[in-house]
């Protein structure tokens, strides 16, 4: 393999790793400690955007990293997010390679699907019995604002990831 | 696409997925409650967590300055700066006062209970979607923290350590359904135990169950830990009784309790690593 192609690939992936770590710190440490009024699921649109460009195999490993980081802060059973995020990322990469085009609209749709799946999983795995009223309250106050914030952030996140992927793409060399 | 499922890449992904699944089982049966991968990541990320806490503090100060300058936008620039500076100092003062108050209470608890061994800890991570107010602290097994160590703020109980890695631990608060403490009401000495459910937790309240139907406990009563079971030390304040309700079976009563602390506002806590009468159990509940 061309050495420059190899270097570009490594630099691009390192940047994505740094972006994921930064997003994790913002989502799980900085914003909650500043008592942000709504939860922000920034990791989901970032992972989906990265997986759209990195495709299924490396996207899968970005999913493992994202989920494992999120696991350290989440109240869900340890390891479950690494499992689900790797699945989301692998699935997105596969979709992006074989079925759908890599566009903002598709990223938004997949990010929304990811947020809904995460919310559903969190609701199912909430310890203790969850009444309908409590579930409704949780959806209104936690999950809908979280999904909305993720969708709003998906747009700048997608363009940032695209800019990095385009600048450091392997074919141009 | 069908070909992908027969490739080497797919087999690698499947192997990693199986390893992750195995990790979950390991976490479920291990003493620490965390996967080896999470433990390693917690260790690697701990400097970043500390930096993020510092950043959050700095940003809080900046926010105070920003608000101040906006509020006094019509005043002279020098006055604005002065006010912003004073505000910033006031924020620092309030923070110090808050911390001092916590340490004073802690000192009082320490004087009352010389058998307690404490570790001060800082909250570094929160799951913003968790309705039970769980959080992660910057202390782990390297600091002597083990599973089921009680966590306090001043002389009040906050929760219990539920998962622990070398550098971090996750705390479930009293709002979590998996946390239950043996308790008593200080005026009537009637025994009870705390419990939580989702509906109550959403409103930041818990229950003290096991009271007799004609309980003398009244609104305003104070509920403390009883020490029964050896998980929590005796006489840590849990909260104040808001009201008394008769349960569905009409055979017993329960008290609705408002915990002393607003868990979303806590930044520093203390972990009790050892105390007289501590049980060597693996259970999280008394």
This model of the complex carries an ipTM of 0.76
pLDDT, position B151: 93
What Rg do the C-alpha atoms of chain B give, in angstroms?
A: 23
User: How far is it, in rounded angstroms, from Cα B269 to Cα B120?
Assistant: 6
Cβ-contact B197, A128 below 8 angstroms: yes
For residue B44, count other CB atoms closer than 10 A to its CB. 13
Of A39, A82, A99, the CB nearest to B128: A39
pLDDT bucket at B60, cuts 50 / 70 / 90? low
pLDDT, position B158: 93
Residue B34 has pLDDT above 80, yes or no: no
Return the H-helix or E-strand segment holding B193.
Answer: strand B191-195
- Could you write out the DSSP letters of every residue in A27-42? IIIIHHHTT-SS---T
pLDDT bucket at B61, cuts 50 / 70 / 90? low
Higher pLDDT, B255 or B105: B255
Helix ranges restricted to H, chain B: 8-29, 36-71, 77-112, 198-202
Q: What is the pTM of this model?
A: 0.75
Above pLDDT 90, what percent of chain B? 18
Contact B53 A60 (CB under 8 A): no
DSSP state of B277: T
- The dihedral through the CA atoms of B141, A29, A23, B33 has a sign that is positive
Chain A residues with CB under 8 Å of B136 CB are: 72-73
Cβ-contact A122, A76 below 8 angstroms: yes
pLDDT, position B93: 83
Chain B residues with CB under 8 Å of A79 CB are: 20-21, 23-24, 27, 35, 37-38
A34 interfacial to chain B (CB closer than 8 Å): yes
- Could you write out the DSSP letters of every residue in B73-109? TTS-HHHHHHHHHHHHHHHHHHHHHHHHHHHHHHHHH
pLDDT, position B70: 53
User: How far is it, in rounded angstroms, from Cα A108 to Cα A49?
Assistant: 9
Of A82, A90, A98, the CB nearest to B1: A98
Higher pLDDT, B56 or B173: B173
Residue B44 has pLDDT above 70, yes or no: yes
A134 interfacial to chain B (CB closer than 8 Å): yes
User: How far is it, in rounded angstroms, from Cα B16 to Cα A42?
Assistant: 25
Cβ-contact A15, A164 below 8 angstroms: yes
User: How far is it, in rounded angstroms, from Cα B12 to Cα B78?
Assistant: 64
pLDDT bucket at B71, cuts 50 / 70 / 90? low
Q: Is B242 helix (H, G, I), strand (E, B) or coil?
A: strand
Instruction: Give Cβ neighbours of residue B85 (< 8 Å, ≥ 6 apart).
Output: none
Question: Is residue A144 classed exposed, middle or buried when 0-12, 13-18 and 19+ CB atoms within 10 A define those classes?
Answer: middle
pLDDT, position B73: 56
Residue B280 has pLDDT above 70, yes or no: no
Q: Highest-confidence range of A41-55, B9-23, B66-80, by mean pLDDT?
A: A41-55
Beta bridge partners of residue B184, listed in sequence order: B191, B224
A46: distance to nearest CA of chain B, Å?
18
Number of H helices, E strands in chain A: 7, 0
User: How far is it, in rounded angstroms, from Cα A172 to Cα B12?
Assistant: 29
The residue-averaged pLDDT of B43-59 equals 75
For residue B66, count other CB atoms closer than 10 A to its CB. 13
Both tokens of B203, joined, read 């409103």
pLDDT bucket at B8, cuts 50 / 70 / 90? confident
User: How far is it, in rounded angstroms, from Cα B37 to Cα B27?
Assistant: 10
Q: What is chain A's pLDDT, residue by residue, as a tens digit (173 residues)?
A: 678 888 888 999 999 999 999 999 988 888 887 777 778 889 999 999 999 999 889 999 999 999 999 988 887 888 889 999 999 999 999 999 888 899 999 999 999 999 999 988 888 887 766 778 888 888 888 889 989 999 999 999 999 999 999 988 876 44
pLDDT bucket at B284, cuts 50 / 70 / 90? very low
Q: Highest-confidence range of B96-105, B204-213, B273-282, by mean pLDDT?
A: B204-213
Of B17, B21, B37, the CB nearest to A68: B37
Cβ-contact B173, B158 below 8 angstroms: yes
B64: distance to nearest CA of chain A, Å?
12
């Amino acid at each position: 393999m061309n050495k420059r192609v190899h270097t570009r690939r490594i630099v691009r992936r390192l940047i994505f790793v740094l972006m994921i770590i930064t997003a994790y710190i913002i989502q799980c440490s900085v914003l909650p400690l500043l008592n942000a009024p709504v939860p922000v699921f920034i990791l989901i649109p970032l992972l989906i955007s990265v997986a759209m460009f990195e495709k299924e195999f490396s996207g899968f490993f970005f999913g493992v990293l994202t989920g494992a980081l999120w696991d350290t802060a989440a109240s869900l059973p340890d390891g479950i997010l690494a499992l689900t995020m790797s699945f989301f990322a692998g699935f997105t990469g596969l979709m992006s390679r074989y079925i759908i085009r890599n566009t903002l609209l598709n990223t938004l749709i997949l990010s929304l699907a990811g947020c809904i799946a995460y919310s559903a999983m969190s609701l199912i795995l909430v310890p203790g019995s969850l009444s309908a009223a409590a579930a409704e309250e949780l959806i209104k106050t936690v999950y809908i604002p979280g999904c909305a914030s993720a969708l709003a952030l998906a747009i700048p996140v997608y363009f940032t990831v695209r800019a990095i992927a385009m600048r450091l793409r392997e074919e141009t060399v | 696409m069908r070909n992908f499922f027969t490739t080497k890449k797919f087999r690698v992904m499947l192997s990693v997925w199986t390893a992750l699944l195995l990790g979950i089982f390991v976490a479920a049966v291990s003493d620490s409650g965390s996967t080896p991968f999470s433990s390693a990541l917690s260790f690697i990320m701990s400097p970043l967590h500390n930096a993020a806490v510092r950043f959050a503090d700095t940003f809080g100060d900046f926010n105070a300055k920003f608000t101040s300058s906006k509020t006094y936008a019509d005043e002279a620039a020098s006055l604005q700066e002065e006010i912003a500076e004073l505000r910033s100092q006031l924020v620092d003062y309030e923070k110090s006062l808050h911390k001092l108050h916590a340490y004073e209470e802690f000192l009082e608890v320490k004087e009352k209970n010389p058998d307690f061994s404490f570790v001060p800890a800082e909250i570094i991570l929160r799951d913003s979607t968790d309705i039970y107010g769980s959080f992660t602290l910057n202390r782990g097994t390297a600091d002597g923290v083990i599973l089921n160590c009680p966590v306090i703020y001043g002389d009040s109980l906050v929760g219990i350590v539920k998962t622990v890695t070398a550098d971090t631990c996750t705390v479930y608060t009293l709002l979590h359904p998996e946390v239950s403490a043996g308790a008593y009401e200080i005026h009537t000495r009637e025994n009870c135990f705390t419990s939580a459910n989702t509906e109550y937790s959403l409103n930041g309240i818990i229950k003290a169950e096991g009271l007799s139907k004609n309980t003398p406990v009244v609104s305003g009563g104070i509920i403390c830990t009883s020490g029964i079971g050896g998980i929590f030390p005796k006489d840590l304040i849990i909260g104040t009784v808001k009201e008394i309700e008769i349960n569905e079976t009409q055979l017993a009563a329960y008290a609705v309790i408002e915990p002393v602390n607003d868990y979303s506002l806590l930044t520093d806590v203390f972990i009790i690593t050892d105390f007289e009468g501590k049980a060597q159990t693996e259970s999280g509940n008394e």
